[in-house]
């Protein structure tokens, strides 16, 4: 069975480093939006283009799974709803989904971001300490049940299903 490894964590946690290791170990396709955003748009968000890019990468990931290729999806996935939608889509494509949570303490995160910005400024985006602190308040840490792959649950109120929610979250999806 093919597997989608969904990287979960904040910037500077080590998600991409771990994603590279998993890609080698599992001969999997690795999809990391940051590696596309800089060459295409020169910045991380680019007026909502990141959501569009992530939607296309998610569609590509599902197609690769259907073709028998495992995938590492290196999105970060800060919200439980994002993770639930992706898990549902992956399972509906006949593949398994493994959440790979990479936690990081604030001091280590700040040091890694500073190091990355000083050593490879052309491969990263400026991130301030205030950004990191704010993003921590937005991040929904996965619990043991979610990490164990149990019950995905229903989409938020007002949504008929996860595919519709995903198409709204990632405008180019499907």
Q: Which CATH number, 3.40.50.300, 3.40.1010.10, 3.30.70.260, 3.30.56.10, labels domain 3-169?
A: 3.40.50.300
For residue 75, which of 37, 131, 120 has the smallest C-alpha distance?
37
pLDDT in tens, 20-72: 999 999 999 999 998 898 888 876 666 778 899 999 999 999 999 999 999 99
SS3 content of the chain, % helix, strand, coil (to 5): 50, 10, 35
Distance CA 118, CA 95 (A): 39
In the three-class reduction of DSSP (H, G, I as helix; E, B as strand; rest coil), residue 27 is classed as: coil
For residue 32, which of 54, 65, 64, 8 has the smallest C-alpha distance?
54
pLDDT in tens, 105-147: 999 999 999 998 889 877 777 888 999 999 999 999 999 999 9
Q: Where are the domains of the chain?
A: 3-169
Whole-prediction pTM value? Answer: 0.93
Is the dihedral angle over the CA atoms 62, 77, 40, 3 positive or is it negative? negative
pLDDT at 44: 63
Q: What are 73's strand-pairing partners?
A: 6, 31
């Amino acid at each position: 069975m093919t597997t989608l490894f969904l990287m979960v964590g904040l910037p500077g946690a080590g998600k991409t480093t771990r994603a590279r290791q998993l890609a080698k170990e599992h001969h999997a396709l690795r999809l990391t939006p940051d590696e596309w955003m800089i060459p295409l748009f020169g910045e991380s968000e680019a007026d909502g283009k990141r959501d569009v890019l992530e939607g296309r990468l998610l569609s590509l990931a599902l197609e690769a799974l259907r073709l028998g290729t495992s995938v590492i999806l290196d999105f970060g996935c800060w919200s439980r709803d994002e993770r639930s939608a992706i898990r549902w889509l992956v399972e509906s494509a006949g593949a398994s989904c493994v959440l790979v949570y990479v936690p990081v303490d604030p001091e280590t995160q700040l040091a890694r971001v500073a190091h990355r910005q000083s050593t490879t400024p052309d491969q990263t985006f400026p991130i301030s300490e205030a950004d990191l602190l704010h993003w921590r308040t937005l991040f929904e840490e996965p619990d043991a049940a979610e990490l164990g792959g149990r019950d995905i649950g229903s989409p938020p109120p007002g949504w008929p299903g996860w595919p519709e929610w995903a198409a709204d979250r990632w405008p180019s999806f499907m």
